[in-house]
Amino acid sequence: MRAPLVLPLTAVLACLTACSPAPRPESKTPAPALQAAAVAGQKFQHDGVELYFEVHGSGEPLLLIHGNGGSSRDLAAQIAYFRRNYRVIAMDSRDQGRSGDSAAKITYEKMTDDQAALLEHLKLSAVHVVGWSDGGIEALLLAIRHPAKVGKLVSMAANLTPKGLHPDTVRFIRDMLKDPAISARDRKVTEMMLTEPQIQLAELEKISAPALILASDHDMISDEHTLDIFHHIPNAQLQIFANATHMIPFDHPDRFNAVVAEFLQKPFVKVDRLGDTIKSLEKLRAAQAK
Whether residue 247 has pLDDT greater than 50: yes
Q: What is the pTM of this model?
A: 0.87
| Mean pLDDT for the stretch of residues 253-263 | 98
Q: How far apart are CA 77 and CA 82, in angstroms?
A: 9
Poorest-pLDDT segment among 5-9, 45-49, 69-73, 224-228: 5-9
- Written as one string, the DSSP assignment of 16-84 is HHHHSSSPPPPPSS--HHHHHHHHHEEEEEETTEEEEEEEES-SEEEEEE--TT--GGGGHHHHHHHTT
Whether residue 5 has pLDDT greater than 90: no
Q: Would you say domain 13-289 falls under CATH 3.40.640.10?
A: no
Q: How far apart are CA 250 and CA 259, in angstroms?
A: 14
Q: What is the tens place of the pLDDT at every residue in 261-270?
A: 999 999 999 9
Q: Does the N-terminal peptide bond of residue 197 adopt cis geometry, omega within 30 degrees of 0?
A: yes
- Please check whether residue 177 is in contact with residue 163, taking contact to mean a CB–CB distance below 8 angstroms: no
Domain ranges of the chain: 13-289
- Please check whether residue 248 is in contact with residue 193, taking contact to mean a CB–CB distance below 8 angstroms: no
Q: How far apart are CA 209 and CA 147, in angstroms?
A: 8
Q: How far apart are CA 53 and CA 100, in angstroms?
A: 12
Q: What is the tens place of the pLDDT at every residue in 80-130?
A: 999 999 999 999 999 999 999 999 999 999 999 999 999 999 999 999 999
